Structure 1
Amino acid sequence: MASDERQDSAPDLRILGDSVTLQPSGYVEPAFTGEDIGGEALMKNMARFRSEPLRFLREISLYVSGTGWRAYDNVIGQPIFYKGFTDHIKTQVMSATLLQTKISQLAEMRVAAEVEEGLINKNDKDFAIKKAQRLAALVQGLHEVAEKLTDQMICKFESKAFIRSAYYLVTQLLLRAYHQGIHVSSEEVLRLRSVAEEAARNKQSIIFLPCHRSHVDYVSMQLLCYRLGLALPVVVAGDNLNFPLVGSFLQHAGAMYIRRSFGDDQLYTALVQSYIDVLLQGGYNLECFIEGGRSRTGKLLPPKFGILSFVLDSLLSGRVEDAIVCPVSTQYDKVIETEGYVTELLGMPKKQENLTDFLTGGSSILSLRLGRVDVRFHEPWSLRAFINQQLSKISHISFGIKVDWKDVKNQAIRQKLLRTLGYKVLADINAVSVVMPTALIGTVLLTLRGRGVGRNELTRRVEWLTNRIRAKGGRVAHFGNAPICDVVERGLEVLGKDLVGVVEGLAEPTYYAVDRFQLSFYRNMTIHLFISESLVAAALYTRVKQGGGPSMQDMPYQDLYDQVFFLSSLFRGEFIYSGKGLAANLEKTVLELEAENVILIERDEEGRITKIGLSGAERAAGRENFDFYCFLIWPFIEASWLAAVSLMGLTPPLGQENDIWIQVSKAQESAQLLGKTLYHQGDLSYFEAVNKETLKNSYQRFEEEGIIQVIRSKDPRIPARLRIAPYWQPGRDEKTGRILASGRLWDFTENIASSRREGKNRRDGATVSTRVLSLTDMLGRKLFEDAVRGEQEGAKGGKKGKGVPTPARLSDEEQRSVDRTEVERRRRRRLEERSKL
């Protein structure tokens, strides 16, 4: 236990206003008195005009004059914040060989097309002159477009006076909301500074790759780099943030704006690649979010490979020698945007960012008390060394030889390299993430049976969970010598009564989850640590819920293996697994659960595991630890079951040809409506199961498995459409037209259901095969009716203002695309290894 505590008690750098304390190794924080130390330090160090006008004015003058560290001189990294920086970068981007070549290619392609179309007469005596003139005009035009796009995209590190003012303003705003400050490990900071010094000498960039849960992520990173004297990174941001005033402010603070989708715009793609090359060649630091957008669920999302692909190409092409990768974890006591996330996940469209919301939101957070922010830096590593190591494993390619990455075989290698890079970064982020008190409380409240939990029991379970996290190699936020009961009180205060309620006037205060959906965001911050145990528990539950004596609930090891394999494959888009393989990881997990006294293991004469079951001690304890692991995974099992059941409704009605394709978004909206109905009728245990993102992930997995076929049109105005693959399609009763509870899809759904939490009517299989199937059939019929009606209206000219109608049937070209995709999917399934736990 002592070693675990040493691991968790790494000292912090505390940033509260002007007060920065780098605590040396071995530092022990004074005992927690129950008072809000962070709040007092914040008020003391950030003067307010009304209470301390002289001190307030003095602080302003220090920033204006750039006294001490505020001057931001002698930063570690390449020179930034000087007049002419923007023009210097723009000139380098516009003169990049890659961009110039692409402009010439596009101009020549257009001229060739115009010649082919007869717009430039081949027989004209001045053909060569006119062609050259047209080519020059096109090149000039493309140059002007590229220059305008460059100006809109690149960051503009121009003024130190600006960045000093911006730092003061944002620090005032942010640290009044996160009143306990921004914390980082001093050991990690010292290591990062050492790496940054070496990178600066070699003119290499540090690529910060943080997780993304809040808009505060990039703000906190910029604040930390500024305060620690590191060169600010250029932050990749979506152009949705580039709205009046705020967009310019962020651009001068380091934002690089890019489109959410590039489509087939070759010029824009080349422009982004050229800018990335310029940054990495010049040794400028870069920051992009490995998940792409913000996580609305609290757990890490699968990696997005857009910017990573550009970075990888910079190195694979040899245009950049090396870069340093630094995965970053940013954790919060409470995330500002969680209420907005809930509305989005329940089906409300995402609201476009605008100045009014920014100003009103900025002013409102001044009165919030959201606890603290913990930023952790993984040990940085060489991207070049990683690439070379991976290529030596998966191919014969040597970097001493010029490689044609356009070759189909090499493209497959490049794609595997990119995926490996993305998932390594996610694993590194998980490795350094700290679990906040709010996450501990949210996890405990949502993994206990009953309406509520007493204060003593809550504290006991939080302490148990803390020890389990440490035993798993995880980290818990450092609170010095504060007793666990005080840490729990601090967490409850931050969560507030809108999330966790308390019933007074009882034998002891009793706490309960008020908003389980929003609280699940904090529970999901811990699930990655226990995903192996959760999958094993959910697999074993298929026997446990059948009841009977202990021996009746034991499970043959092969059956356990099969169900864990099924579940891990089902959730491979949701969670990050160890790369050691299913067999090794399953055995390791089972042995750990045996050591934890949760299960008993039977072995044969040769010591091989033959059967497992719940231990007597676990049964005597009311299955509290076993249930904990089940409760973590059950909401995701419910969501997958809901998504699978919703597919049953996509069976074409009798008399309806199997050539009607349904909009993917409408099918998912229908699944969400089905889930809300089933929840309120008692057939769904978890409202989190109607989470839009989890349902989308389930549909993505079903597509990968070939259960559904999806067609994406080249026309961006036509949304993606789907249908059930013919060999997965359920049948219908020829007399009644009802969907039959049989077939491949039904068996798949039942396999998911076998690990669901038992609740109302769960023991009566007829409930699902009659009432639930009737409901999903009713919703499915409406989808078919809407699809056919929309196509008919489109054939008649459509309705004014409705845009391009969505065709319910495929064109010949689209059908050929579906056939090719299916052939490729089957080939890939034969070649690739299945998901491993």
Structure 2
Amino acid sequence: MSKDQSPLDLAIVGNTLQVHPSSISSDHPSQEQSLLEPYARFRSQPFDALQELGLHVTGTGWRSYDKIIGRDIFYPGFSDNMKSMVMRQEKLRLRISELAQKRVEVEIHEGLLGPKGLEGEEQEHRTRRLARRRQIETELHDVAESWTDKMICKMDSKVFIRGAYYFATQLLTRAYHQGIHVSSQEVLQLRTVAEKAAVKKQSMIFLPCHRSHVDYVSLQLVCYRLGLALPTVVAGDNLNFPVIGPFLQHAGAMWIRRSFGDDQLYTTLVQSYLDTLLQEGYNVECFVEGGRSRTGKLLQPKFGILSFLLDGVLSGRVEDALVVPVSTQYDKVIEVDSYISELLGQPKPKEDLFQFLSASNVLSLKLGRVDVRFHEPWSMRGFIDQQRTRLVRSPSIESMYDAALKRKILTTLGYKVLKEINDVSVVMPTALVGTVLLTLRGRGVGKSELVRRVNWLSERVRAQGGRVAHFAESTTEVVIDKALTVLGPKLVGRVEGLPEATFYAEDRFQLSFYRNMTIHLFVSQALVCAALYTKVKWGGGPESQRMAYTELANYVLFLSQLFRAEFIYPTESLGETLDNTLRGLEQDGVILTFRNNLVSNEIEFVELHPDERASGRENFDFYCFLIWPFIEASWLGVVSLFMLVAPQHHPDNEAWLEYKTVQDRAQLLGKTLYHQGDLSYFEAVNKEALKNSFTRAEDEGIITVTRSRDAKVSPKVKMDFEWMPSRDAEGKLVADGKLWDLCERISQSRREGKNRRDGTTVRTRVLGLADLVGRDLFDDAVMDAEGQASRVRRRRSIQTRAQL
């Protein structure tokens, strides 16, 4: 593949810092340069390995981590100093005082501290209340101090962090044998910004995407090796298990609960800790998506911790902080096997030492490399001021701490960060190969065709402004061979004994994880091609497959709304994005547009380009193959809502159903439809896609969901009356009404072919299966209600006997 003159990449491989050609191709190849000797292996060179470990422990040369850019960290007493600063936060002290006063008010109301509001109230009562309030404040202060000690990262020992760096690098680079790669231009820019931020005592807020537990390890290693102050990493306390938890906490992790509930003290404590970090200029890292993506593409933003960080600057408690979106990409993600199990309905395993050690078994594998890319840092204060100018139209509005306005700014912040993560992401060779294998019509593909399509896809990525991981001096064939080796035979099979090496997707579900790493670049093209496919699928000549622009635009709008929880869209308006997409597809020879040259030169019709027809629609099909699994998942999500229709003559037609159970049964329905040939893609049954579909149904008012503040009480769901399908005289569900119309609307762009049957018989069978699964749901609801009533009667009987 060709290369370009863009800045070189740096690769951290063990103790080696290497220079590579840029991730964006060029015609001027560069030689790799090894700047440091690699780590010795204990088995083959025990003396050298022990000597290198000693260099880290004693802090020889760059390993000392003494001349870092940023606030001083890893010194004795760091934790005590941090805890003291947190406990002195004005916001925390006011909250403790407020909660103590509220408790005193409750005790007064309960008559525990004397009557309230009487004239001539005795001094004794006032003294008791004041003493009680001080006692509660002291108790709350002790609780907050204890929580703080458990929460904060404990960067107290430089010897520890040197050893931790050595240990983590050894483990990580044994798994990812090609090392951690970063862009030299981005790193130089980051260091320059970090130096200026250190002078101003400003924090850098690293906001990476989250696909693996390796994410925070790799970023910490990059910061350590490049001399940047390690960020405090916001992490869920599910990882705080014996041995590993304390290790991570002393390496930079801060532990927070997975859910805060209504605990006002804990919420304020987290805010106070983050305020302290930002006020003092300590770097922070948190994941804008919240949890790890199980599907390979970016998740929608989670606003919990992001809200705390924004609030610190928005309220004025923090002057400013610098935001650094970060992309971390992998040739192969260690946890993908477990992700697939979770997506297929298996419960998520609890994090513990056993799970960690089990995961460590893969460290002997060769998983390729990790790419860490940094977007240009920008000012949080500048962003807020820009949003205030855009959102606050009336100059008389002075307050920036308006709840509605804050929500708008927070939402914009989340999606801005996600877009910039996508902007700097690198498409890995495994993602290229996986995408090609899942977007071809045949059972398999020959080596020469695979090379041709990978080259084509690489050019398409660059044309969309994306980046392709560098290939050094390797040919495309060599790069593909390496990618196939990393993916392994469990994901990509090879047919032996043929004249040409022929490969096929062995595990399409798992390969979809890597395909989804590229889909963000082509969402607009995929939506347009899926819309046009509603005409193309019926066959015939060019004129019969021609689509009016207004019809195309309406269906693209429909699909974009359908997938608003799935994809991160361009920031331009839909009309502007659509016109740009059509222009690009026409330039690429995929489609042809017909304009009204007599009036306004507006597009009137769209059809397939003659060249695309001549080539067998391979490029048009590529975009359709990208989006078809998501269309199938949305169709399944709507079909599964027919389960919420009560069976005829059921004793409780108005029953509320367990929301989680409904989603689980929807997945079971999907598996049945797939194996019976009514669903084309098995990945359409993944629980994340179904969850998004149910969320959309709730937003649209198709279903109603009730949730309790008590986490132990499961949410319940029922169908909205206006969307309720009808039954015929025999009690069978009828393919009619608003819900079925929505199914049919989605189905217009579903993939046709030999893998799926269609027709009236299929409608009857699909609805029959949904009805069958739904009947079990309602029977379970009745049994639960009877069981609950029985428990109530039994409890009342016991109470009656006790009174007697």
TM-score (norm 2): 0.95
Which deviations, in whole Å up to 9, do the C-alpha atoms of 1:179-230 show, x marking residues without a partner?
A: 0010000000000000000000000000000000000000000000000000
Letter in 1 for 2:236: G
Is residue 789 of structure 2 the alignment partner of residue 786 of structure 1?
no
1:409-464 deviation per Cα after TM superposition (whole angstroms, max 9, x unaligned): x2111101100000000000000000000000000000001110000000100000
Q: How does 1:410-809 map to 2 (within 5 A)?
A: 410-604=402-596, 605-606=598-599, 607-656=601-650, 659-733=654-728, 735-760=729-754, 764-797=758-791
3-state SS of 1:327 partner: strand
Q: CA deviation at 1:764?
A: 3.5
Equivalent residue for 1:55?
48
Could you tell me how far 1:56 is from its partner in structure 2?
A: 1.2
| C-alpha contact (below 8 Å) 1:455/1:509 kept by paired residues | yes
1:567-611 deviation per Cα after TM superposition (whole angstroms, max 9, x unaligned): 000001111111211111111111111111111111122321111
Whole-Å separation in 2 of the counterparts to 1:442 and 1:798: 56
**Structure 1 residue 110 corresponds to structure 2 residue 107:** no
Partner of 1:234: 232
Aligned-residue offset at 1:796: 1.1
TM-score, with structure 1 as normaliser: 0.91
Give the stretch that moved more between structures: 351-360 or 451-460.
351-360
In structure 2, do the counterparts of structure 1 residues 614 and 763 end up closer, same or farther at CA, with 3 Å as the change threshold? farther
Distance 1:537 1:450 in 2: 20
Letter in 1 for 2:18: T
Instruction: Specify the code of the residue in structure 2 equivalent to 1:646.
Output: S
Corresponding residue for 1:814? none
1:183 alignment partner in structure 2: 181
- How far did 1:30 drift? 5.9
CA contact (8 A) 2:7 2:21 kept: no
**2:798 matched to which residue of 1?**
none
2:292 is aligned, of 272, 280, 294, to 294
**2:396 counterpart of 1:403:** no
Q: Does structure 1 residue 88 correspond to structure 2 residue 81?
A: yes
How far has the Cα of 1:763 moved from its partner? 6.5
Distance 1:684 1:46 in 2: 51
Q: 1:121 offset after TM fit, Å?
A: 2.1
Does the 8 A contact of 1:679 with 1:687 survive in 2? yes
Alignment of 1:359-370 (within 5 A): 359-362=357-360, 364-370=361-367
Relative to structure 1, the CA distance from residue 22 to residue 201 in structure 2 (aligned partners, 3 Å threshold; closer, same or farther) is farther
User: What's 2:90 paired with?
Assistant: 97
Residue identity opposite 1:347 in structure 2:
G
Give the drift of 1:64. 1.6
Superposed displacement of residue 106, structure 1: 0.6
Amino acid of the structure 2 residue aligned with 1:721: K
Long gaps (5+) in structure 1: 801-837
From 8, 12, 16, the equivalent of 2:9 is 12
Q: Check the 8 A contact 2:21/2:31 in 1, yes or no.
A: no
Deviations 1:490-521 (A, max 9, x none): 11111111110111210101000111100000
Preserved CA contact (<8 Å) 1:24 1:186? no
Q: Which amino acid aligns with 1:694?
A: A
Contact 1:618 1:626 (C-alpha < 8 Å) held by counterparts: yes
Aligned to 1:384: 381
- Aligned amino acid, residue 416 of structure 1: K
Task: Provide the rounded CA distance (Å) in 2 between the counterparts of 1:27 and 1:639.
Answer: 42
Q: Distance in 1 between matches of 2:719 and 2:78?
A: 55
**Does structure 2 conserve the Cα–Cα contact (< 8 Å) formed by 1:211 and 1:328?**
yes
1:823 corresponds in structure 2 to none
CA distance in 2, matches of 1:29, 1:119: 82
Quote the Cα distance in structure 1 between the aligned partners of 2:444 and 2:225: 44
How far does the alpha carbon of each residue in 1:124-173 deviate from its partner, in whole angstroms, 9 at most, with x for none? 84211211121111111111111111111110000000000000011111
Q: Is the 8 A contact 1:683 1:760 kept in 2?
A: no
Could you report, residue by residue, the CA deviation over 1:64-84 in whole angstroms, capped at 9, with x for unpaired residues?
210001000010000100101
- Aligned residue for 1:316? 314
**Are the equivalent residues in 2 in contact too, given 1:761–1:767 (CA < 8 A)?**
no
Number of aligned positions between the proteins: 783
The equivalent of 1:832 in structure 2 is none
> How much identity, in percent, do the aligned residues show?
60
Equivalent residue, structure 2, for 1:833: none
Residues 229-274 of structure 1 deviation map (CA, whole Å, 9 limit, x = unaligned): 0000000000000001110000000001111111100000000000
Contact 1:291 1:302 in 2 (8 A): yes
> Aligned partners of 1:77 and 1:312: how far apart in 2?
21
Deviations 1:669-722 (A, max 9, x none): 111001101111111110000111111111111111111111111222111111
What is the rounded CA distance, in whole Å, between the counterparts of 2:574 and 2:397 in structure 1?
37
Per the alignment, in what secondary structure is the counterpart of residue 553 of structure 1?
coil
CA distance in 1, matches of 2:701, 2:202: 44
Once residues 378 and 799 of structure 1 are traced to their aligned partners in structure 2, the CA distance between those partners, rounded to angstroms, is 63
Contact residue 23 and residue 186 of structure 1 kept, 8 A: no
SS at match of 2:543: helix
The verdict on how the C-alpha distance between 1:527 and 1:728 changes in structure 2, with shifts beyond 3 A counting, is: same
- The answer to whether the 8 A contact 2:232-2:252 is kept is yes
Say if 1:537 and 1:629, in contact at 8 Å, map to a contact too: yes
SS in 2 for 1:298: coil
Q: Which moved more, 1:546-555 or 1:433-442?
A: 546-555
Q: Is the 8 A contact 1:436 1:476 kept in 2?
A: yes
Letter in 2 for 1:329: S
Letter paired with 1:506: L
Asked if the contact 1:208–1:288 (Cα under 8 Å) also holds between the matched residues in 2, the reply is: yes
In structure 2, relative to structure 1, the CA distance for the partners of 1:175 and 1:463 (3 Å cut) is same
The one-letter amino acid paired with 1:93 is: V
CA drift at 1:768: 3.8
> Partners in 2 of 1:763 and 1:344 — Cα distance?
29
What is the rounded CA distance, in whole Å, between the counterparts of 1:393 and 1:30 in structure 2?
Answer: 46
Structure 1 position 397, deviation (Å): 7.3
Task: Give the whole-Å Cα distance in 2 for the aligned partners of 1:799 and 1:492.
Answer: 64
Q: Distance in 2 between matches of 1:761 and 1:162?
A: 58
Q: Does the CA-based 8 Å contact 2:423-2:466 persist in structure 1?
A: yes
In structure 2, what is the Cα distance between the partners aligned to 1:586 and 1:715? 45
**In 2, distance between residues paired with 1:401 and 1:552?**
56
Pairwise CA RMSD? 2.1
Read off the aligned partner of 2:186 and give its amino acid letter.
E
Partner of 2:797: none
Offset at 1:22? 4.6
Q: How big is the shift at 1:729?
A: 1.2
Q: Which amino acid is 1:641 matched to? A: W
The secondary structure found in structure 2 opposite 1:60 is helix
SS at match of 1:551: coil
Kept after mapping to 1: 8 A contact 2:439/2:625? yes
Q: Which amino acid aligns with 1:792?
A: E
Q: Please say if residues 21 and 29 of structure 2, whose CA atoms lie closer than 8 Å, have aligned partners that are also in contact.
A: no
Question: Given residue 199 of structure 1, which amino acid in structure 2 is its aligned partner?
Answer: A
Secondary structure of residue in 1 paired with 2:644: coil
**SS of 2:791 mapped into structure 1:** coil
Residue identity in the other structure for 1:557? Y
Confirm or deny: 8 A CA contact 2:20 2:30 kept in the other structure: no
Q: Contact conserved, 1:11 with 1:27, CA < 8 A, in 2?
A: no
Give, in angstroms, the shift of residue 523 of structure 1.
0.2
When residues 49 and 726 of structure 1 are mapped into structure 2, their CA distance, relative to the original with a 3 A threshold, is same
How big is the shift at 1:769? Answer: 2.4
